[in-house]
Structure 1
Amino acid sequence: MRTLALRGGERVAVIAAQWHNAFAVVTRGRVQLELRDGEPGPVLGRDAGFWLRGTGVRALRNPGLRTAQVRIVTPHTPRSREHDMISTTPAPARHTHRFRGLAGTGLLATVAAMIATTLAAALARAAGVDFEVPDGGETIPLSGIAVVTGFFSLVGVVMAAAFLRWSVRPAERFLWTTAALTAVSLIPPFIAGADTATVTALLGLHLVAAAVMIPALTRSLRTKGDGAATSS
C-alpha cells in the first residue's frame, strides 16, 4: 500500500504490467481517469474507489489546483517493485513542455492563417471585391487583413493555453468556445454597411482563419492535454 500525491494539473501514467491487481481510493481532492482511447474519463471525488487493471485507464490526472491524494493497494506486489509502479515526469518540466508544444503549434497556425487570409483577400480583390467600408469610406488593405488575422489568432492561442491549464477537457471546451466566437464574428460584416461582395468576402475570410486555427489548436490540446508524455 502506498499514497500517491498529485499536485494541481499533474498527470501520472498507469503502466498495466506494473499496476497488477491495483485498487485505488481517492483520499483527498479529485482525480480524473484518463482512458486508453485518449478520451477523458470520469472525475472521482473523495472516498471513491476504483480498480486499475482491465479498466482501460492509462493515467490519473488531478483536474484541480489543490493537491489530491490516492491510496493504492497492490496485493502480492513485491515491495522492491513499488517504486517502479509509477511513471512520472516532474510537474514543472512537464507543464513547460506542454505549453511550449502548444505555443509552437499556435504560432505556426497563426502564420498559416495570416498567409491564407491574405491570399484569399488578394484573390477576392482581383475578382473585383473592393473591401470598402462605408464608415469613413476607407478600403481595407491586405496588410490590415493580415494584422487582424494575426491578432485574433494569437488571442486564440492564449485561450487554448488557458484551457490547457485550467480545464479538465481542454480540447472540447476550446472547440465549443471558439466555434461560438466564430459564429459571433460573422455578425459585424453584416452591419458594416458594405456591399454584398465585400460582406461575402469578409465572411469567407473569417471562416478561412477559423478553419486553420481551430483544428490545429484542438488537435494540439488533445495531444498535450489528454496524452502528455511520460517516462518509464
Structure 2
Amino acid sequence: MQLELRDGEPGPVLGRDAGFWLRGTGVRALRNPGRCTARVRIVTPRARTVNTPRTPVTEWWRNDMNSMKNSEIVAGPASGQTTHTHRLHGLAGTGFIATLAAMAATTLAAALAQAVGVDFEIPDGGETIPLAGFAVVTGFFSVVGIAIAVALLRWSARPAQRFLWTTVSLTAISFVPPLLSGANTATITALLGLHLVAATVMIPTLARSLRTQGRGIVAHAA
C-alpha cells in the first residue's frame, strides 16, 4: 500500500502488517500499486463514556460510534487487468503522439540549422546526416522512452519520478557521441541542441502521463 501526499506526490510504500496514523499528517489518499488485493483495517479511538439518558437518538449515536471503531477497506489492485490495460493504452497513445511531435520538431530544427550553414558532416564516416536520419533516430529513441515508461508504470510504485531520473540521465549520456564525433563546432552544437529538442518534447509529456495514469486512489483520508 502506498500513501499519497496532499501535494499529489507519492509517499512511502508500506509493506504487509504495517501500521500508520492518518490524522494530522499530509496523507490525502491510499493507493494499491501491487497486483494483489490489499486489505486496510481502520481503527478509530473509542469514544469516552458519557452518561446520557437512553433515547432513540442516543442509542443510534452509540451504535454508530461502535460501528466505526474497527472498520475495514478492501482495495483491489490498482493494476487490475481492465484498468491496467486501459492505463497502458493511454500512456502508449500519449507517447505515440509525442513521438510524432518530437520527430517533426527535430527534423524542422535540423532543417533550420542547415539553412544557416550547419553541414552535419561526420568526419569519421565522411558522410552528411540527412534530414530523414534525424527523424528515424528520434523516432527510435522515443519508442525506447515509451517502453521505459510502460515498464515503470507496470512495476514501479513511483513511475513518474523514476522515469524523470532515468531519461534525464540517458539524455546526458546521449551527449557523449556528438562530442566525440570529431565534427566541427557548429555541427556538434546543433546535434546537442537536437537531442535537447527531442528530450524537451518526450520527457515532460510522458512524465505527466505517468503521474495521471499512475494514480490508483483506493481510499481518501479524512
Shorter-chain TM-score range: 0.7 to 0.9
**Residue 193 of structure 1: how far off its partner (Å):** 1.5
The TM-score with structure 2 as length reference comes to 0.78
* Structure 1 counterpart of 2:125, one-letter code: G
The superposition leaves residues 136-193 of structure 1 with CA deviations (integer Å, 9 ceiling, x where unpaired) of 3111110010000000011001101111111121111110111111111001011111
Q: Distance in 1 between matches of 2:131 and 2:100?
A: 15
Contact kept? 1:98, 1:228, Cα under 8 Å: no
Q: Does the CA-based 8 Å contact 1:189-1:199 persist in structure 2?
A: yes
Give 2:83's match in structure 1, choosing from 94, 98, 101: 94
**Helix, strand or coil for the counterpart of 1:49?**
coil
Distance in 1 (CA, whole Å) between partners of 2:89 and 2:200 is: 22
The match for 1:26 is none
Structure 2 unaligned residues grouped into runs of 5+: 47-64
Q: Are residue 36 (structure 1) and residue 25 (structure 2) matched? A: no
Give the number of equivalent residue pairs: 198
Structure-1 separation of matches of 2:148 and 2:37: 24
Higher-RCO chain (CA-CA 8 Å, sequence separation at least 6): 2
Deviation of residue 94 (structure 1)? 1.4
SS at match of 1:33: strand
> Counterpart of 1:184 in structure 2: which amino acid?
I
Larger radius of gyration: 2
SS of the aligned residue for 2:20 comes to: strand
For 2:213, the equivalent position in structure 1 comes to: 224
Give the match's secondary structure for 2:4: strand
Q: Which residue of 1 aligns with 2:116?
A: 127
Aligned match for 1:140, one of 124, 129, 152: 129
Percent identity, please: 70
Q: Distance in 2 between matches of 1:164 and 1:77?
A: 40
Match 2:171 to one of 179, 182, 192: 182
Q: Which runs of 5+ in 1 are unaligned?
A: 1-30
| Letter in structure 1 aligned against 2:129 | I
TM-score by length of 1: 0.75
The reply to whether residue 170 of structure 1 matches residue 140 of structure 2 is: no
Name the CA distance, whole Å, in 2 between partners of 1:64 and 1:139. 49
2:107–2:134 contact (8 Å) kept in structure 1:
yes
Equivalent residue, structure 1, for 2:54: none
2:55 equivalent in structure 1:
none
RMSD (Å), alpha carbons: 2.8
Rounded to whole Å, the distance in 2 between the matches of 1:68 and 1:102 is 25
* Counterpart check, 1:214 vs 2:203: yes
Task: Return the letter of the residue paired with 2:138.
Answer: T
Tell me the amino acid that sits aligned with residue 15 of structure 2.
G
- Structure 1: distance between partners of 2:131 and 2:34: 44
Does the CA contact (< 8 Å) of 2:31 and 2:217 recur in 1? Answer: no
